[in-house]
Structure 1
Amino acid sequence: MTGPSFLRSRAFRRVTLQAGFVAGLLLLVLAATLTARTNLATQGLTSGFDFLWKSTGWEMNFSLLPTTTADPYWWYLLMGLMNTLFMGTLGLAGASVLGLVVGLMRSGRNPAARLLGTIYIEIFRNLPLILQLFFWYAMANALPAPRASIAFGGALINARGLYLPGLMVGPGTVALAVLSGLVGLGLAIWVLTARRFNRVEPRGQRRVALLAVLAGLIGAGVFVVLGHDPADAWVTLPALQGLKIDGGFRIQPEFYALAIAITTYGAAYVGEIVRGGFKSVGRGQMEAAAALGLSSWHIFTRVRLPLAFRAMLPILINQYVWLIKATTLGIAVGFSDFFMVIASSINHSGQTFEFIGILMAGFLLINFSLAAVLNRLNRAIALKGHQTTGSA
């Protein structure tokens, strides 16, 4: 006697096995959660997120907005997240620009430029990032004392940091100005990648994107003007006053050491990605552009670079996501990024599981958002049905 027909169905058996596996996994997670909660209660530790509104009682050594020991944990977490985003933005921008230069040197015809590019990549790519970070931090600490500061272009540098001329506006004003510029840039990217603009002429599409960037910059300027006190000067210059530096804007050694390390290390990988992208462009396409009478500059900017960028963008996405996660190494030199704020909060509050969950959620949000934006850009510039690779 045969059983029901649905039991003989391969699809039914697959669905049943998958559902049983997911149910078993959920039961395992639930059992682990209940066990951890019971153990915490036995040790007198409470779970939940009520601690987020309690004051921290410790200070952050770097934050884009003012912080005090009386601030709650949620504010410190927000500042740590902003520090990570700020450092990641600087690191990605610096690695992209320097990596483009190194990649062009490696792809050029000048033997000296190719040699220099090769030496740079072989050195900085094969040294661990944390080792490079310690090197730059040691170099920063080896600088002279404040009384013997090195002056250049209105700036001062010593063992306590880099002092640059600064605007006489509040830190909150600067944050709003930067946010306005980023919103304008985000709108421009959305216009260039949105499907609803596909039927618009390319020149009109670029014009709308340019207007979005200009609107962001104008908004940033408005915030700066509104945040300035008319009784004060616009710019303050750093000057030695006794044993300290007054005026200007101070960049801490922990900050610029980490920024330099991420930039130089990431540029070595970006340079190789750029070189591979240029090698993927077929020689026939450049010869066809030359046959049309285009100059060498127009061949590079309108044929070779766009095609190479399409080829290198998918690999750059993975590299950018990795560099964002590399900002967590700032804890080794005392930079108050998101990871260090989480670690310090765990030591002061004892809410280990909650803070680890917040840390995981924060980095998932950052990396998924970055990957989503870049993947959208990749889909927008992809040449469907065309072959962009060829022999170099």
Structure 2
Amino acid sequence: MRLWKPRLTTGSALVLLVIAAVVAAWWSGLLGFLGSPTSWQLGFSVLPQEPSDSYGWTLWVALLNTLVLGLVSIATATILGAAMALLVISGSPVWAGFARAYIQLFRNMPLILQAMFWFSVVTHLPGPRQALSFAGIVASNRGVSVPFLTPAGIIFTVCLMGLTLVIGRAGKRLSLKTPQRWRLSLAAASLLCSTGAYLWMDGRDFFTVPELAGFNFKGGIHMPTELIAVLIALTMFGSAYIGEIIRGGFATVPKGVIEAARSLSLPGWVVELKVRAPLAMRAIILPLGSQYTVLLKATSIGLAVGFTDIFAVTLMSINQSGYTVSLLCFMTACFVLLNQALVSAANTLNKLVEIPGHGTH
């Protein structure tokens, strides 16, 4: 009979240590001030925050600001970086030269300089009454407002995605061929879209669109100038490094493997998608995870343009309350936990794409 022996990894031990330190600080009264009101309001917050709210709630909102900015910048930087990498390996001298110039430019430019530059650009846009508008997206010197789903629209979208996924899996269980499964999923999606169109004509709103109200816009999602500036800076900065990581990952795939796949008369997209990309992922995921932690930590650069993330709010709380050591330890614990979650996700994904018998060289 084999006894189960719990395994404690380095990451798990670090997380437990941080949690224990926070609990000990709370128990000893070092974090007791978190229940006191702040008497000041954040410039930008994902959740509502008022001056009468406590330090604890304000720090929690600031942590969510950091998390949202980090995740969105990671997503946009990954998309743009992958595009730059594909341009480099495309074989076109013009596009490859453009992508290499882009990567070198934003890799060698200080991040704080990029944040200040884009903040200046955004603040010099026209005012709200002369705002730039395209496809419902409105840009002015107050920020950018974009259309967004209403609660009914969110429910409808989730139902659409869920129904399509369930029908696709059902078709797979019935051993239907791929084209038949796609037709079945498309028919289900069309049926649900028709239902949504009927509800919309009946007066149900699925989108909320920005509309000018006084000196600003109401409706949709509003992103202030400081958020836009930091997001663009992080996207440009991160995409340059991510593009080089992805390009290097594809360069590790042996040419003999690609030539062998092409000798089987496989289409070019099949060779790239089914042969080259899976092999390249082994060399991409772990460096990509490390770059994601860099981007998450780099959100603190928002302090330079007034973005209220966990770093900026912690410094404001120190100035107001005087609990320097406690607040710095609290901020450290937040960054450690967030970055450890990213590293653990990268390690898990790396194990999923491992090819038995083939190590990463």
Shorter-chain TM-score above 0.5: yes
Query: Residues 248 and 93 (structure 1 numbering): CA distance in 2 closer, same or farther, change over 3 Å?
Result: closer
Superposition pairs for residues 211-250 of structure 1, below 5 Å?
Answer: 233-250=205-222
Counterpart residue number, 2:148: 166
What SS is found at the alignment partner of 2:266? Answer: coil
Which of the two has higher C-alpha Rg?
1
Please give the alpha-carbon distance, in whole angstroms, between the structure 1 residues aligned to 2:40 and 2:277. Answer: 50
Do structure 1's residue 309 and structure 2's residue 281 form an aligned pair?
A: yes
Q: CA deviation at 1:154?
A: 1.9
User: % of aligned pairs identical?
Assistant: 39
TM-score normalised by structure 1 residue count: 0.70
Counterpart residue number, 1:61: 43
Q: CA deviation at 1:385?
A: 2.5
TM-score normalised by structure 2 residue count: 0.76
Please give the alpha-carbon distance, in whole angstroms, between the structure 2 residues aligned to 1:293 and 1:234. Answer: 47
Do structure 1's residue 151 and structure 2's residue 133 form an aligned pair?
A: yes
Aligned 8 A contact 2:43 2:308 in 1: yes
What is the CA deviation profile of residues 294-313 of structure 1, one whole-angstrom value per residue up to 9, with x for unaligned ones?
11000000011111111111
Aligned 8 A contact 2:278 2:353 in 1: no
Counterpart residue number, 1:361: 333
Query: Residues 105 and 56 (structure 1 numbering): CA distance in 2 closer, same or farther, change over 3 Å?
Result: same
What is the CA deviation profile of residues 154-183 of structure 1, one whole-angstrom value per residue up to 9, with x for unaligned ones?
22211011122234459xx98x999x99xx
The Cα RMSD (Å) is: 2.8
Please give the alpha-carbon distance, in whole angstroms, between the structure 2 residues aligned to 1:343 and 1:135. Answer: 24
Aligned 8 A contact 1:47 1:351 in 2: no
Query: Residues 134 and 233 (structure 1 numbering): CA distance in 2 closer, same or farther, change over 3 Å?
Result: same
Q: CA deviation at 1:387?
A: 5.4
Counterpart residue number, 1:227: none
Please give the alpha-carbon distance, in whole angstroms, between the structure 1 residues aligned to 2:351 and 2:156. Answer: 30
Aligned 8 A contact 2:132 2:138 in 1: yes
Please give the alpha-carbon distance, in whole angstroms, between the structure 2 residues aligned to 1:111 and 1:60. Answer: 48
Counterpart residue number, 2:224: 252
Query: Residues 67 and 231 (structure 1 numbering): CA distance in 2 closer, same or farther, change over 3 Å?
Result: farther
What is the CA deviation profile of residues 209-262 of structure 1, one whole-angstrom value per residue up to 9, with x for unaligned ones?
xxxxxxxxxxxxxxxxxxxxx998443322234433333331101111111111
Please give the alpha-carbon distance, in whole angstroms, between the structure 2 residues aligned to 1:363 and 1:261. Answer: 20
Counterpart residue number, 1:134: 116
Q: CA deviation at 1:286?
A: 0.9
Query: Residues 367 and 387 (structure 1 numbering): CA distance in 2 closer, same or farther, change over 3 Å?
Result: closer
Counterpart residue number, 1:287: 259
What SS is found at the alignment partner of 1:58? Answer: coil
Gaps of 5+ in 1: 1-45, 185-200, 204-229
Which residue, out of 99, 106, 113, partners 1:117? Answer: 99
Runs of 4+ residues deviating >6 angstroms = none
What SS is found at the alignment partner of 1:57? Answer: coil
Aligned 8 A contact 1:129 1:262 in 2: yes
Aligned 8 A contact 2:281 2:353 in 1: no
Gaps of 5+ in 2: 1-27, 163-172, 176-201
Counterpart residue number, 1:209: none
Please give the alpha-carbon distance, in whole angstroms, between the structure 1 residues aligned to 2:216 and 2:336. Answer: 41
Superposition pairs for residues 70-85 of structure 1, below 5 Å?
Answer: 70-85=52-67
Query: Residues 63 and 121 (structure 1 numbering): CA distance in 2 closer, same or farther, change over 3 Å?
Result: same
